[in-house]
Structure 1
Amino acid sequence: MMKKNCLIILSLFFAHFLFSQNENADAIFEKFIKEFTLEADGSTSYREYKQLKLITQFSFNRLYGETFIIYNPEFQNLKINNAYTVMADGSKVITPPNAFNEVLPRDAAFSATANHMKEMVVTHTATEMGATIFLDYTLTSAKGYLPGFMGNVLIQESSPIAELEVIVRIPSDQELNHRMIGLRTGPEIKIEANQKVYAWKFNGVQASPKEPLQGKYQLSAPRLLFTTAIGVAETINWLTNQQAFELQINDEMKAWTDNLRSKQTEEIETLMTIQKAVVENIVFERYNPEWLAYRARTPEEIWKSNGGNKLEKTLLLATLLKYANFNATPAIVGPKSLFDEKAINLTIFDDFVLIVNTKSFGTIYMSAVEISNQSLEYSLAQNIFIPLSKGISRAPVEPMKMDNKINIKGTISFNEELKPSGTMEVELTGANNPFLLLQNDKGKFKSLISNKMIKDDDAISIKNSNVAKSELLVKVESTESISDNNGYYSWQLPVITGGFEKWRIAYLDKTRQSNLFLPYPIVEKYSYTITLPLDYTVINKRFNERLKNNVGTVSVEIKPKGNQIEINRELKLNTQMIYQIDYNEFRDMINFWLDKNLSTVVFKKKD
């Protein structure tokens, strides 16, 4: 009797939890199964079964009217096991044959190498409020599609899940390395015939948050990682064991590179010129290299086709730089927190860069698909880099950690026409240091100062610039007078637009369901001394306040005196991940920093 009562209580609690979850949901997955199988012959399969209850019109008009399944017919086979809809009145409608249509995936558009890819579009019929969609399909992959059996499964979907099951099957004589992140739960393990079966079961899974600033990898989301692969060396050897990684170059490519080199006198100019040519002139085919099992064409083939995916463009750039006497190594990039050197999982990696050793400026990390203002190791400091050298085992690389600082000391004076001018001493480090931009064209630094206060390139003097830190002396001058607003004038302090300003955080909600992920930790400091004409007086009141908490520090000091004012502002964010428990303190800091009253000089003419 006691056991029966406990079951009733648990059932009522579960029903109440689901009701609270579903109260504002557009749909609910009543049941979701993700099943991964490794066969004895090395082939793998993925089966997905979902039972989706539609609650609102939005759910079937915009969210779940169709299901999209991308696959590579050269390696994979798709089988639809079952597809139907049960309408609100209980009638069952089988999905008709014309509801299954194969199209080219959007990211494979304009790509000659990926135009064989398929995207099965399953259009769900008989949808209405209260209807339930049923879909069951299996995607089978040939042996060798990946270097091992591996998966990266988020334990959440865009709508709540009443019952979720993740099943992994492997031959009974093999071992599975698995790691659950964000949840304290383990699998049920059993033997079925010749297979070892791991099963994770979840009830009442919340919908994925729809909040901004969750980061590229959604690192705060619960996930399951599993793999049968062993170490880094074996996996990277599998990836690099192809002709493309020999980085061979033909005569046409040599002549093209020689022509670019002949026009440059400095090593850094040659490096950036070759990078720019590859980024801008070789078409970026945006499909995921995993679609083609990481099989890459040779640099010569990429060159002749004038296009490639991110991996291929990285190999092409490495080949051209190698010929130009640079030591350039391709590397695969992924989040360090998900990386396990003893059980590597290739599915956590989704980016490629080049690690280039230069004689003048040391090591520079750069992309083959976009041009950045700075070497990438600072903005990617929370990632791991694994060099991709054919036949050579290279240890994973962790970027050097460094403060990402902005330090501005400005002296500004207003003339009788109320036009500001003066000097700014600028110190920029880490991710905030536009080192590559300054080497390419220092005039572009004008776009990194707000208020359009730099008239020409001669106003910018570079005192020192290397990958770690740049120091500049900038003459600022505005041709525009401050406008009169009923006898009062206001002027916003200039800022570096490449720091916190670039993140475009203008508003933060009062509450948050997920951790917040910043691009990188930052220290941003401005010290201004501003002088007005003698017949004007500052309106700003004296102010000095500082907030310090687990997230960091923010402080503002305002010291007015007659026609002068000194303003010191500093924002220090210690960590990239703002945990939910610290969100309110973070919000208080940012609201304080964003208060325009504390970054605006207000003045008027003396009575």
Structure 2
Amino acid sequence: MNSRYFLGLLLIVFASCSSPLTQEQKNADAVYLKQIKEYTLNLDGSSSYHYYHKFRFNSYLSFNRFFGETFVAYNPEYQTLRVNKSETKMADGKKVKSPENAFNEVLPSFAADAPDYNNLREMVITHVGLEREAVVELDYEIQTKASFTPFISDKVNLCESSPVKEVEVIVRVPKGVKLNYNLINKPAGLTCKKSTKGEYDVYSWKAYNLSAMSHEPLQSEGFTAYPALQFSTVDLLTAFNYLKGNLTKGFTADESAKNLLASKEKGWEKVELIKNYVVSNINTYVVLPQLAGYRFRSSEKVWQSNGGIEAEKAILLTALLKNAGFNTQMVIAGYPHFLNKEVGRPNSFDKFWVKVELDGETRFFSAVEEHSKIPGQRIPIAIVDDISKVNLEISQKPNLKLNFNSDLKISAEGKVDGTAFIKMNSFDDSKDLLRGISSSDYTSTKTSCTKDSIFYSASFTNSNLVKKIDGYYIMNLPYIAQGIAANGIEELPLARITSIELLGSINESYTFVFTLPNGYSLISPINETKVENSLGMCDITRTEKNGKIMITRKLIVNKAIIPVESYSDFRQLMTIWADKNLNKVIIKVE
């Protein structure tokens, strides 16, 4: 950096650090006093990334466990790294520069088991002189050759794991080069400025006092609720076609591959066989494709080396299934929040799947996981699709409707017999039907399927669902695995700072009709427990009629995304619904 630029940087940093810290910044383990992320597309097509931060340590935990080192990954074949500054200002004002042995180039841990990516490197920068109230200044640059990618693009997260007092993003492009950009969840007070300096158009964004990213569970999938800036010198169609060209590869099967393809299975069984082979027997490398410039190895190399990144395994699976005679396409997927037709980023597609059409049915498969259904909110796009015609709008989450009706008889020996009928409007066959009881205690059958509903029956024959404790029989009530339970809700604290995102709004109901032996009575649950609020209702009742006891449970959550202001209502509903004492029956021998 020239002296004028460095002086300007110092003035900016001094100004940003002179204002007092917010309460959150004071209480956090650490805080970014200033952060600069600068991208430049050079006149010769090469590019550079410049990073700077001034980072304050507030707690012992911050430097003993979290931020004592900085890791910078890069590809030496196309990139060079230069560290301009790594210096600590201690609490008493003493400045300590990182010594030579504080800079160690290593093989990234994510590439350790990926021989074909052992050319990648990671600089480990160890910060010295750390103590409470110490401030580290770090400044480095990565220069990238023009041949790495034909354009520059990125998504910049404006929030970090620690609060950010001030962040600035700068993008420089040659005059006449169009820069496309958009902001997601624009933070209050963010400013945008465009100027021209010499042969470059300069775009800059500044934001102040950004909260840290929360560790709360059940946040929006893909962290799509946080502020981010994305930019590119090309549109989405161009970036899509660039990916498409690198993902379209054939495969010449060797003898071992031919043996796999010659298996006697037919139809979906054969698809599953080939998919399971790729998932289980081809190692998965967790290297990000952008570190290789989205250059994917051939399917022959992936097969012979017995390993590949997710995209490479998906390419291989697609090729194997095509060689087996199936109508198969490679699919890329990304969150619609980050898919903008004007802003083309290859890394907006973060998943690679395989689509198979057979017998009038379409299924999606992962080449790295055992599921066969695309999860969540991502939009799948086959590489043969015309992306200009794909709907990139955020889809509305479903209203999940689940109903369980059972008629159960409990014997004097504590055995349970009976039948349950389950109706759902959405169900993944690869997952369990019921939870709360052992899978060995029931058998299930899919009885029918319509456009809007799936029907199952479950049989309980001499099941050991009841435990005898001190003269009482206790039975945990089963529940549908893919209802509200599928969200994995555990403890709910008194307060929350982020929205909750469920798989869908919920309308879930249960009816348990019990026939008890003579001399037995139900002592829990008692009567009715009910709550209604702005978010829905939870109702648990017990009635007796014609010598039978009926327990009904009903939960309605009318929103899939629970805003912070509705959290207390959600917590009220779920506290009752999840109460262990209300999720079991207790029977007493009179």
TM-score, L = length of structure 2: 0.89
Is 2:507 aligned against 1:507? no
CA deviation after TM superposition for structure 1 residue 284, in Å: 0.9
**Higher mean displacement: 586-595 or 247-256:** 247-256
CA deviation after TM superposition for structure 1 residue 530, in Å: 1.6
**Equivalent-residue separation in structure 2 for 1:578 and 1:481 (angstroms):** 35
SS at match of 2:334: strand
Q: Out of 45, 59, 62, which is 2:62 matched to?
A: 59
**Higher mean displacement: 66-75 or 555-564:** 555-564
The answer to whether the 8 A contact 1:420-1:478 is kept is yes
Is 2:293 aligned against 1:293? yes
The answer to whether the 8 A contact 1:454-1:478 is kept is no
- The residue type paired with residue 352 of structure 1 is F
Is 2:213 aligned against 1:208? yes
SS at match of 1:125: coil
CA deviation after TM superposition for structure 1 residue 450, in Å: 3.0
Aligned ranges 1:529-568 → 2 under 5 Å:
529-539=513-523, 540-543=525-528, 545=530, 547=532, 549-550=534-535, 552-561=536-545, 564-568=548-552
CA deviation after TM superposition for structure 1 residue 562, in Å: 7.8
The answer to whether the 8 A contact 2:471-2:589 is kept is yes
- The residue type paired with residue 269 of structure 2 is E
Cross-structure match for 2:229: 224
Cross-structure match for 1:451: 437
Change (3 A) 1:283 1:481: closer
Cross-structure match for 1:199: 204
SS at match of 2:116: coil
SS at match of 2:464: coil
CA deviation after TM superposition for structure 1 residue 280, in Å: 0.7
- The residue type paired with residue 159 of structure 1 is S
Cross-structure match for 2:79: 76
Change (3 A) 1:150 1:279: same
Q: Out of 415, 421, 443, which is 1:419 matched to?
A: 415
SS at match of 1:217: helix
CA deviation after TM superposition for structure 1 residue 100, in Å: 0.5
The answer to whether the 8 A contact 2:191-2:206 is kept is no
Is 2:243 aligned against 1:239? yes
Cross-structure match for 2:340: 340
CA deviation after TM superposition for structure 1 residue 272, in Å: 1.2
SS at match of 1:451: coil
The answer to whether the 8 A contact 1:538-1:564 is kept is no
Structure 1, unaligned runs of 5 or more: 1-10, 438-444
**Equivalent-residue separation in structure 2 for 1:557 and 1:329 (angstroms):** 51
Change (3 A) 1:112 1:176: same
**Higher mean displacement: 77-86 or 469-478:** 469-478
1:111-150 Cα distance to aligned partner (Å, 9 max, x none): 1221111111000011122221111001122225345321
CA deviation after TM superposition for structure 1 residue 200, in Å: 1.4
The answer to whether the 8 A contact 2:45-2:150 is kept is no
1:529-588 Cα distance to aligned partner (Å, 9 max, x none): 1221121122232216353534x5544333244853222223344554322222222222
Is 2:362 aligned against 1:366? no
Is 2:71 aligned against 1:87? no
The answer to whether the 8 A contact 1:36-1:47 is kept is yes
Q: Out of 3, 7, 23, which is 2:26 matched to?
A: 23
**Equivalent-residue separation in structure 2 for 1:564 and 1:147 (angstroms):** 73
SS at match of 1:98: helix
Structure 2, unaligned runs of 5 or more: 1-14
Task: Name the % identity.
Answer: 31
SS at match of 2:422: strand
Cross-structure match for 2:381: 386
CA deviation after TM superposition for structure 1 residue 467, in Å: 9.9
- The residue type paired with residue 179 of structure 2 is L
**Equivalent-residue separation in structure 2 for 1:563 and 1:103 (angstroms):** 74
**Equivalent-residue separation in structure 1 for 2:494 and 2:22 (angstroms):** 24
Is 2:107 aligned against 1:104? yes
CA deviation after TM superposition for structure 1 residue 186, in Å: 4.0
**Equivalent-residue separation in structure 1 for 2:84 and 2:137 (angstroms):** 10
- The residue type paired with residue 462 of structure 1 is K
The answer to whether the 8 A contact 1:84-1:93 is kept is yes
The answer to whether the 8 A contact 1:387-1:395 is kept is no
CA deviation after TM superposition for structure 1 residue 485, in Å: 4.2
Change (3 A) 1:504 1:563: farther
Cross-structure match for 2:9: none
CA deviation after TM superposition for structure 1 residue 283, in Å: 0.8
CA deviation after TM superposition for structure 1 residue 518, in Å: 2.8
SS at match of 2:437: helix
Cross-structure match for 2:373: 375
1:267-318 Cα distance to aligned partner (Å, 9 max, x none): 1211111111111111111111222111111111111111111000001111
- The residue type paired with residue 206 of structure 1 is S
**Equivalent-residue separation in structure 1 for 2:76 and 2:544 (angstroms):** 71
Is 2:183 aligned against 1:188? no
SS at match of 2:23: helix
1:400-431 Cα distance to aligned partner (Å, 9 max, x none): 9755443322111101112112112123443x
TM-score, L = length of structure 1: 0.87
SS at match of 1:224: strand
The answer to whether the 8 A contact 2:417-2:463 is kept is no
Cross-structure match for 2:255: 252
**Equivalent-residue separation in structure 1 for 2:477 and 2:298 (angstroms):** 52
**Equivalent-residue separation in structure 2 for 1:83 and 1:343 (angstroms):** 34
Cross-structure match for 1:440: none
**Higher mean displacement: 93-102 or 401-410:** 401-410
Change (3 A) 1:364 1:161: same
CA deviation after TM superposition for structure 1 residue 520, in Å: 4.5
> Alignment length, in residue pairs?
570
Is 2:481 aligned against 1:471? no
**Equivalent-residue separation in structure 2 for 1:557 and 1:27 (angstroms):** 50
Change (3 A) 1:478 1:338: farther
**Equivalent-residue separation in structure 1 for 2:537 and 2:349 (angstroms):** 33
CA deviation after TM superposition for structure 1 residue 351, in Å: 1.0
Change (3 A) 1:516 1:401: closer
The answer to whether the 8 A contact 1:515-1:578 is kept is yes
CA deviation after TM superposition for structure 1 residue 478, in Å: 5.0
Cross-structure match for 1:116: 119
CA deviation after TM superposition for structure 1 residue 326, in Å: 1.7
Change (3 A) 1:358 1:219: same
Change (3 A) 1:394 1:181: closer
Change (3 A) 1:231 1:163: closer
